[in-house]
Amino acid sequence: MTAVAAAPHTSHHAPGAEAGMLWRQTRHELVTLVRTPITLILSIGLPLLFFVLLSALIGNQVLDETNGVRLVQYLAPGMASFGVVMATFSFLAVGLAEARATGVVKRQAGSPAPRWVLIGGRMGAALVLGLTSTALVITAGVLFYDLIVPSRSVAAIVVTLVVASACFSALGLALAMALPTMQLTLAVSNGVVIPLAFISDMFMVGGQMPPWLATIGWLFPLKHLTALFADALNPYLTGSGFELDHLAVIVLWGLAGAIVATALLRRDRDRDTSLGSGAGADAHTRARSADAVPRRTAAPSLGALLLDQVRHAQSILWRDASAVFFAVAFPVVLVAIIPAVNGGGDQIMSNGLSLGTFYAATMAVYGAAVTAYVNMPQGVAEDRERGVLKRTGGTPLPANALIVGRVAGALGVSLVTGLAIAVLAGLAYRPGWPSGMPAAVVTLVIATVCFAVVGLAVMTFVRSAQAVVGVTLGTLLPLAFISDIFVVGASFPPVVEAISWLFPLRHAARAMTESIAPASSGLAWGHLAVLLAWTLAGAVVLVLRYRPEARESGHTAGRRNLPQTARTSSR
Answer yes or no: is 552 within a domain. Answer: no
Tens digits of residue pLDDT in 179-216:
887 777 877 887 788 788 878 877 766 556 778 888 88
* Pair (372, 240) in one structural domain: no
Answer yes or no: is 304 within a domain. Answer: no
Q: How many domains does the chain have?
A: 2
Residue 6, pLDDT score? 41
Answer yes or no: is 390 within a domain. Answer: yes
* Pair (229, 329) in one structural domain: no
Domain final position from 208, 242, 268: 268
Answer yes or no: is 60 within a domain. Answer: yes
Output the CA angle 358-364-365, nearest 5 degrees: 95
* Of the candidates 295, 249, 265, the residue with the CA atom closest to the CA atom of residue 174: 265
3-state secondary structure 492-558: CCHHHHHHHHHCHHHHHHHHHHHHHCCCCCCCCHHHHHHHHHHHHHHHHHHHHHCCCCCCCCHHHHH
Residue 441, pLDDT score? 94
Tens digits of residue pLDDT in 242-277:
888 899 999 999 999 889 888 887 776 655 555 444
* Pair (358, 252) in one structural domain: no
Domain final position from 228, 243, 268: 268
Residues of the chain with pLDDT under 50: 1-11, 275-281, 283-285, 287, 553-571
Answer yes or no: is 414 within a domain. Answer: yes
Output the CA angle 152-156-160, nearest 5 degrees: 160
Residue 4, pLDDT score? 40
* Dihedral Cα 294, 296, 298, 301, nearest 10 deg: -130
* Pair (261, 364) in one structural domain: no
* Pair (85, 164) in one structural domain: yes
Residue 370, pLDDT score? 92
Tens digits of residue pLDDT in 297-333:
566 777 787 788 788 777 877 777 777 777 888 888 8
Which residue segment(s) compose the domain that 373 sits in? 320-545
d(CA 74, CA 153): 15
Answer yes or no: is 498 within a domain. Answer: yes
d(CA 107, CA 115): 12
The pTM of this model reads 0.71
Answer yes or no: is 557 within a domain. Answer: no
Tens digits of residue pLDDT in 116-165:
787 888 888 888 888 888 888 888 888 888 888 888 888 888 899 889 98
**Distance (Å) of CA 433 to CA 156, 348, 356, 427, 490:** 51, 15, 12, 9, 27
